[in-house]
């Protein structure tokens, strides 16, 4: 794997790992992002999202280590391929799935002060480069 790809994987492992833990430590922060139209409780969606983020962090980190460490070229190749063809697209779909929460946050923050509103509105278009980045995992 190229150095840039290893760094990208390390960043995403940290991002998803931290966010996943925060879903369990401060779930009320994330509950408000869940659109009311979804079935079930907001807390269930928050905790489910946290589980997904922790799982993605584990997969990205573990497969990156497998793709870069060790002697067996076939194992390294299989890990890279899994990152590129399975984990990257699954992660992009996850980011697409949480996008409505970012839109809801922007809408909810439309009357707040400048900085929180800018952050909330900035998160919406930021999902696109984030999805593009995770699609490049394993390069």
> What percent of the chain has pLDDT above 90?
84
Angle value at C-alpha 4, between 88 and 100, nearest 5 degrees: 40
Report how far Cα 60 is from the mean position of its chain's Cα atoms. Answer: 10
Per-residue pLDDT of 64-116, as tens digits, reads 999 998 778 888 899 999 999 999 999 999 999 999 999 999 999 999 999 99
Task: Indicate the domain borders of the chain.
Answer: 3-134
Q: Residue 51, by phi and psi: left (phi above 0), alpha (psi -120 to 50) or beta?
A: alpha
pTM here is 0.89
CA R_g for the chain: 17
98: helix, coil or strand? helix
């Amino acid at each position: 794997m190229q150095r840039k790809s290893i760094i990208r994987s390390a960043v995403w492992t940290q991002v998803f790992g931290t966010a996943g833990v925060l879903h369990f430590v401060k779930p009320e922060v994330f509950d408000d992002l869940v659109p009311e139209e979804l079935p079930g409780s907001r807390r269930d969606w928050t905790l489910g999202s946290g589980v997904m983020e922790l799982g993605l962090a584990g997969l990205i980190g573990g497969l990156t280590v497998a793709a870069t460490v060790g002697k067996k070229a076939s194992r390294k190749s299989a890990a890279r391929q899994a990152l590129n063809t399975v984990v990257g697209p699954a992660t992009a779909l996850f980011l697409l799935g949480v996008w409505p929460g970012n839109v809801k946050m922007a809408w909810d923050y439309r009357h707040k002060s400048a900085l929180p509103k800018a952050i909330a509105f900035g998160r919406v278009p930021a999902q696109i480069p984030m999805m593009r980045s995770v699609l490049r995992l394993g390069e």
